[in-house]
C-alpha cells in the first residue's frame, strides 16, 4: 500500500476506516450482496466515526477533512464492500453541496440530521433522456410565490425510495447549463414517488430506483446556491465523487490482489504452487504495478481538488478514468488466477468483479472523462 507521504493524521484516519471495515463490513458483505440487504445500521455506525460528513465543515457538524482523507476512507471501506462504500460517498457529496453552497437556513434545516446519517442524502442529476449529456435535463421547477413546483423524473438514483433527502438538479430557466438550479427535496413531500427497485448486476447492498416528481411544492428556501448555478454546483460535486468512486475501485482491487496472493500460494498444480509459475508471477506483478500507479495519480488529484487547483477537474477525470479501468482489469485477472473457483460465490472475487464494473459508467462515463481531459489540454 503506497503511503504517498501521508501525515500521521491521515494514517490514523486510514487505520480507523480499515478497522471499521474489518469489524463491521467485510464479515457481512457477501450476505448483503446475496440477499440484497441495505445495511442502514452499519452505515449509521460509519457516521458515528464522522464518515457521514467527511468534508462537511466543522461549523456544520462535519469533520472538515480534505478529499485525500475522504479517498482513504472510501478505499478502506471498499476493501470490504465497494457498493456500501460508494453509497456513503454519494451521501457525502449531497451533504457537501448543501454545506458549501446552501444558505444558513438550508444548512440548519438538513445537515444536523444528515451528518449522523439519521437522514441520508441522494444526488439526483441523471434522467432517462440525459445521462452523459446532463445539461439537457428536463425536470422543471416553476416558481410560484414562495415555492417551486417541480415536475419530472430522475433515473438510476442511489438510495431512491430509501433515502430521506434528495439534492436535485432542476431546470428553472432556459435550455442549457445556465438554466439549471439545485433544490433539496424531501422523500415525504406530496408528489414524490419512486419506481421499482432496479435489478442490477452488482451494487446489491444499496437501493437504486427512479425518483419521480409530480407537482412537488418545494420551499424557495430549499434552493442551494443561486438560480442558474445548479450545473456548476453539480460538476463541482462530481470532482469529489469521481475521486471517491476511483478510490472504491482501488480498495476493491487491493482486496482481490490480496485474495489472489493467498490463493496462488495455496493452490497446487503439477506438483507446485501456481504462485511458483512465471506466468502467475508476471500477472501479479502487473496487477500490483498498475494499481500503485493508479493510486498515486488519484491521491495527487485529491490534493488538487482540496487545494482548488486550476487543473483539478482534469486531474479528477484522469484519476477516475485510470483507477476505475485499472480496478476492473485487476479484479478480472484475479478472477482468472482463481480459475473456476473465482467464478463461484464461495469466493469474494466475483462480487468485486460485478461491483466494480459500474464504476467506469457512473459519475461520468470513462469516455466522457477522456473528453474532459482532452478539452482541458487543448484549451488556449
DSSP class of 161 = T
Q: How far apart are CA 233 and CA 242, in angstroms?
A: 14
Catalytic entry in 75, 127, 290, 363:
363
Beta carbons of 163 and 187 less than 8 angstroms apart: yes
Query: To 5 degrees, how large is the angle CA 375–CA 75–CA 355?
Result: 80
Distance between first and last Cα of the chain: 38
Coil vs helix vs strand at 304? helix
Task: Burial-class residue 235 by CB neighbours within 10 Å (0-12, 13-18, 19+).
Answer: middle
Retrieve residue 50's grid coordinates. 464522522
* Complete DSSP assignment for 45-82: HHHHTTTTSTTS-GGGTS----HHHHHHHHHHHHTT-H
Q: Output the CA torsion sign for 184, 190, 191, 194.
A: positive
User: Phi-psi category of 159—alpha, beta or left, where left has phi over 0 and alpha has psi -120 to 50?
Assistant: left
Instruction: Mark whether 164 is an active-site residue.
Output: no
Element spanning 147, H or E:
strand 147-158
Coil vs helix vs strand at 84? helix
Catalytic (active-site) positions: 363
Amino acid at each position: 500500500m503506497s503511503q504517498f507521504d501521508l501525515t500521521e493524521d491521515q494514517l490514523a484516519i486510514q487505520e480507523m476506516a480499515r478497522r471499521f471495515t474489518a469489524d463491521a463490513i467485510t464479515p457481512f458483505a457477501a450476505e448483503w450482496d446475496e440477499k440484497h440487504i441495505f445495511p442502514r445500521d452499519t452505515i449509521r455506525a460509519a457516521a458515528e466515526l464522522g464518515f457521514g460528513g467527511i468534508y462537511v465543515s466543522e461549523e456544520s457538524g462535519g469533520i472538515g477533512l480534505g478529499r485525500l482523507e475522504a479517498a482513504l476512507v472510501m478505499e478502506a471501506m471498499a476493501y470490504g464492500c465497494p457498493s456500501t462504500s460508494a453509497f456513503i460517498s454519494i451521501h457525502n457529496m449531497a451533504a457537501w453541496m448543501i454545506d458549501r453552497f446552501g444558505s444558513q437556513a438550508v444548512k440548519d434545516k438538513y445537515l444536523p440530521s444528515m451528518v449522523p446519517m439519521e437522514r441520508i442524502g441522494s444526488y439526483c442529476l441523471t434522467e432517462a433522456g440525459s445521462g452523459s449529456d446532463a445539461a439537457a435535463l428536463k425536470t422543471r421547477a416553476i416558481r410560484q410565490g414562495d415555492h417551486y413546483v417541480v415536475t419530472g423524473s430522475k433515473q438510476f438514483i442511489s438510495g431512491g425510495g430509501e433515502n430521506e433527502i434528495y439534492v436535485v438538479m432542476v431546470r428553472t430557466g432556459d435550455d442549457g447549463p445556465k438554466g439549471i438550479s439545485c433544490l433539496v427535496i424531501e422523500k415525504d413531500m406530496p408528489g414524490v414517488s419512486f419506481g421499482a427497485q432496479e435489478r442490477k448486476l452488482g451494487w446489491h447492498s444499496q437501493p437504486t430506483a427512479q425518483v419521480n416528481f409530480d407537482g412537488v411544492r418545494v420551499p424557495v428556501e430549499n434552493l442551494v446556491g443561486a438560480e442558474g448555478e445548479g450545473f456548476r454546483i453539480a460538476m463541482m460535486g462530481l470532482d469529489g465523487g469521481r475521486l471517491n468512486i476511483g478510490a472504491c475501485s482501488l480498495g476493491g482491487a487491493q482486496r482481490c490482489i490480496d485474495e489472489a496472493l493467498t490463493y496462488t500460494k495455496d493452490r497446487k498444480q503439477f506438483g507446485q504452487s501456481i504462485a511458483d509459475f512465471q506466468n502467475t508471477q508476471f500477472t501479479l506483478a502487473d496487477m500490483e504495478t498498475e494499481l500503485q500507479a493508479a493510486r498515486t495519480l488519484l491521491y495527487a488529484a485529491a490534493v488538487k481538488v482540496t487545494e482548488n487547483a486550476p487543473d483539478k477537474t482534469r486531474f479528477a477525470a484522469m484519476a477516475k478514468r485510470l483507477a476505475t479501468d485499472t480496478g476492473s482489469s485487476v479484479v478480472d485477472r484475479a478472477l482468472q488466477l482463481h480459475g473456476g473457483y473465482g467464478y463461484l460465490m464461495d469466493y469474494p472475487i466475483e462480487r468485486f468483479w460485478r461491483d466494480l464494473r459500474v464504476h467506469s459508467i457512473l459519475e461520468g462515463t470513462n469516455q466522457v472523462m477522456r473528453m474532459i481531459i482532452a478539452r482541458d489540454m487543448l484549451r488556449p
